[in-house]
Amino acid sequence: MLLSLFNILTLIVPLLISVAYFTLAERKILGAIQRRKGPNVIGVWGLLQPLSDGLKLFVKESIIPNNSDSYIFFLSPILTFIISLLAGSVIPFSEKGFFVDFNIGLIYILAISSLGIYGIILSGWSSNSKYAFLGALRSTAQMVSYEVSIGFIILPIVLSCGSFDLQVIVLSQKYFWYVAPFLPLFLMFFTSALAETNRHPFDLPEAEAELVSGYNVEYSSMSFALFSLGEYSNMLSMCLLNVILFFGGWLSPIFFFHSFFWFGLKVIFFVFLYVLLRAALPRYRYDQLMSLGWKIFLPASLSFFGLVSNFLFSFNLFPF
């Protein structure tokens, strides 16, 4: 029992610290891009700012609207937060650095990411606010639309390596990373991951101009913090998945030097890219977002899946 609790804490605590400092990195990078300092008061170079923000939100009063369904309203952010942490349990950080060795880890991650919709739709419905409900509907439609594309985008990779096991996918990239032959798939996957996590330029559920912050508009204090932590945790999971599927995970360009260092370096690159896009790109219109998912990404991913499967079948290159 104690060993299981220790294993869970060794997964959750580093993940929470990573998510907390993801927010600090975002504020620092945005500050540098906009030629200002960013957080620099709490601690050396502002390194204690995430802990200060967490403490501030923890001690604030939690306000529950009078007409809301209080039980569901209270449980929705907890559900979103817990689901966002579950994906990290099957991520292989190095050849022996994983918490659960799961031979269908990729399907597990997709299933967990789809469950995150429930916390969002329940929060919008239980708030009894038209703005929160419209934001939840937007977010749900957006996440469902791009999950379909993500499912078809990863199928050519599964066909190429013959497994849903994340370790097998990484080890199959020993001689070349999948970003080289599957560059169009990587671009579609990265864009779909932005839309899946409601990230800029696809942060339409939180469009301040029309929806006053979207599905979490009625939340405050720690409830709001749990939604924020869940969102950043999902972004970090997508960064990890980008690295595993297309950039060789812990494998390095130098064939004899594979380590966790390379994995972390690649993840930091994608974190920087997420923040850079927020600073550089304008927000999409909602009709443009849905058209991109259903009219461009879905047909393109289906076509690429057919092309790869026909190529592997024609030359008898199936690895299973």
Structure tokens that stand for 180 in this block? 């080289």
Cβ burial of 10 (10 Å; 0-12, 13-18, 19+) is exposed
> What's the distance, CA 9 to chain centroid?
21
Give the separation between CA 170 and CA 108, rounded to whole angstroms. Answer: 17
Write the DSSP assignment of 40-106 as a string of letters.
-SSSGGGTTHHHHHHHHHHHSPPP--TTS-HHHHHHHHHHHHHHHHHGGGG--SSSS--S---TTHH
> Mean of the pLDDT values across residues 190-207?
82
Q: Is the predicted pLDDT of residue 217 greater than 60, yes or no?
A: yes
pLDDT at 208: 61
Domain regions of the chain by residue span: 69-314
Judged by phi (left if over 0) then psi (alpha if -120 to 50, else beta), residue 35 lies in left
Q: Is the predicted pLDDT of residue 17 greater than 80, yes or no?
A: yes
pLDDT at 311: 85
Q: Could you count the other beta carbons within 10 Å of the beta carbon of residue 305?
A: 19
Bigger pLDDT: 258 or 220? 220
pLDDT at 189: 92
Contact 318, 312 (CB under 8 A): yes
Give the separation between CA 100 and CA 239, rounded to whole angstroms. Answer: 19
pLDDT at 160: 86
Q: What is the pLDDT of residues 46-97, one digit of tens each?
A: 888 888 888 888 888 888 888 888 888 888 888 888 888 888 788 887 777 6
Q: Is the predicted pLDDT of residue 256 greater than 60, yes or no?
A: no
Give the separation between CA 79 and CA 130, rounded to whole angstroms. Answer: 22
Question: What single-letter amino acid sits at 28?
Answer: K
Structure tokens that stand for 116 in this block? 């995150």
Place 187 in a pLDDT band, splitting at 50, 70 and 90. Answer: very high
